[in-house]
Structure formats: C-alpha cells, structure tokens
Structure 1
C-alpha cells in the first residue's frame, strides 16, 4: 500500500469546550489528508472528469490531543471494488506515537458530468495500491 503523511499542529481553533481536539475537526482532517493524497499522487490527467464522494465514515477515537500537540496523520487505500475505495486514516501523537484516531472511509468514484458511479481504473489502483 502507498501511504501519505502530514503533520498537524493543534491550535486553539481546533479545541472543544473540554480543551481537546473537537471530533468535527478530526473529520475535517480526515477529508483534508484524503484530498491531498489524491491530488499529490494522481496526475492531473487521471483526475480529469472524475470526483470522489464520501459514502460512509467509521471513526474510532482512542485518545485526546490538546493545544500545541503535533499530530502525525497517515492515510492509505486498504481496498477497492467497483466504484468504491476504502481509505484508512490514522492519527498519532507525533511525540509519543500514541494512536489518537483510526478511520475508514468508503469513497465512491463518480463521473464529474453525470454524477454516476464509475469503476475505479487499473491506473488509479496501480497509483495507490503499490506493493
């Protein structure tokens, strides 16, 4: 599997009333890293005429992050079938390596004009499922 990583520094705007990272912020980061992985890995011509939409998020929260923490976020594609792709995102405290969040998101590939599902091409699979 080909993974993509980024680091995130927790700011005041990321916190909830308990002074922990808000769960909604984690969802945003899951979507952000997923989009970044797609845009930095897939060439422009591969991305033309298609788009991805979320069908389902499953998120497990294991520990909290607080102001100033650095989070290491990692994403990879676990599986594809037809028009569906299962993308995993894991987030760790960068200093302690403690797992904070693990998610699986089911993404559906659509034709950008018709908005109908289309089969994931072999080229996309090869770009994201390298062994």
Structure 2
C-alpha cells in the first residue's frame, strides 16, 4: 500500500547508546506507520557520522553534511561523544553544528508536576509548568 504522506528522515545514531536508541526508535516509528492504514510512512537514510567517523576521517560528519541534511523532513539524532574524542570536537562538529545551522535551539518536552512528587526542579515546585 502506498502511503498518503512519506517523510524523509535522516537518522544519525552517532555514538554509544545513540546506536541502540535510534534503532529501537525506528522500529517503533515504523510500526506506527505500518498501523496508520497508509496515512504515512518513513523513508529512512542513515548516516554513519559521529566519533567513529571522526576516527576514520578527522571530521564528525561529511564536509557537505549540512547541505545533505537540509532536504530531509526531520533529523533523528542519537547521542554524541566517545572517550578519546574531546567534547568540544564531538559537540561542535556534529550536534551543535546541526542545531545552530538549522536554527534548532530547544529540545522541548512536556513537563508536569505531579501532586506529592518532589520535582528535581526544586525551585520550580510552586511554579505553573506544563
């Protein structure tokens, strides 16, 4: 069955737990698409960028990486960082390079305080936050 809407997703598992998280997340998203009755589907393209790529090439992503990514509907990013690669190299060479060049400044998630549960945001316990 052809999907009504196809989303082109760049998957960048990158390093460490990112490999597992992105793989599992893709399975969930593909199952969701499969159960959508053809409403949507995902066309994935995975990039091997990250600290392993840096070890082979001296770069965290391809030199034209941002140009490649600009045509995707979304970027599914895992995690970046690995022992032996300085944080400023891994972060600025991949994660922050993507965020800043595509004007992605916030990773916003819903937040709610539950009655009787002390929040790790200690100073915000009496603040309306949703």
Q: Do they superpose with TM above 0.5?
A: no
| Shorter-chain TM-score tier | under 0.3
What TM-score do the two structures reach when normalised by structure 2?
Answer: 0.25
What TM-score do the two structures reach when normalised by structure 1?
Answer: 0.25
Max Rg structure: 2
Richer in strand (by share): 1
